[in-house]
Amino acid sequence: MNTSWELIIESLRSELQEYGALLGLFEDQQANLLRRDADAVLGLVSSIEQQTQATHVSRERREQFVQIFAREHSVSDDRSLRRLIPLFPNEVQPLIKALIDEINHSIHRIRRGARQNQILLSRAVESHEEILRTLRPDLFPKVYSRRGSVGLATASAWQATG
């Protein structure tokens, strides 16, 4: 039977794998965004959502093992894993530190990748709208606000007047 610290190490490895898979999906999405392959980008959305859920489940599982470990060592079960490292056998402490660091690094890379993809998607939509405004200006009527500034009519305002 595995001891609680072995279960924590196993769950850290599993969590790291899940983050790696999510990072791979964001990288695939970015590559497809740069290739302007809208179908592939759209196809990855559900995969990213599923992988995000799997990552969340893996993290919760690890947190449960950490709480059990903390209780077994008579410390508060809300302490972070990093603060519990001195309670682990000396020979596994460097491994746990490395896994925690790698998970944190992966989370940072995922956040950066998600932010970059969001920016790319936003710019693609802006570019698409600009092209449509040039080719079909009648689809984007300009209206005056009560203050006198010019803006685009909302879909509901355009339907009411059109």
Half-sphere exposure of 135 (CA within 13 A, CB side): 6
Which pLDDT score, from 0 to 100, does residue 74 have? 92
CA separation for the pair 11, 48 (Å, rounded) = 21
Which pLDDT score, from 0 to 100, does residue 42 have? 87
Q: Average pLDDT by consecutive 10-residue portion of the chain (162 residues)? A: 84 97 95 89 92 97 94 89 94 96 96 92 81 78 74 54 45
Structure tokens at 88: 């682990």
DSSP helix, strand, coil percent of the chain (3-state; round to 5): 80, 5, 20
Compute CA 1 distance to the chain's CA centroid, rounded to the nearest angstrom. Answer: 35
CA separation for the pair 108, 114 (Å, rounded) = 10
Could you give the 3-state DSSP secondary structure of residue 152? Answer: strand
CA separation for the pair 1, 14 (Å, rounded) = 18
Which pLDDT score, from 0 to 100, does residue 93 have? 96
Structure tokens at 127: 């570019």
CA separation for the pair 103, 52 (Å, rounded) = 14
pTM of the predicted model as reported, rounded to 2 decimal places = 0.76
Which pLDDT score, from 0 to 100, does residue 86 have? 95
Q: What CATH code is assigned to 4-135?
A: 1.20.58.300
Which pLDDT score, from 0 to 100, does residue 127 have? 80
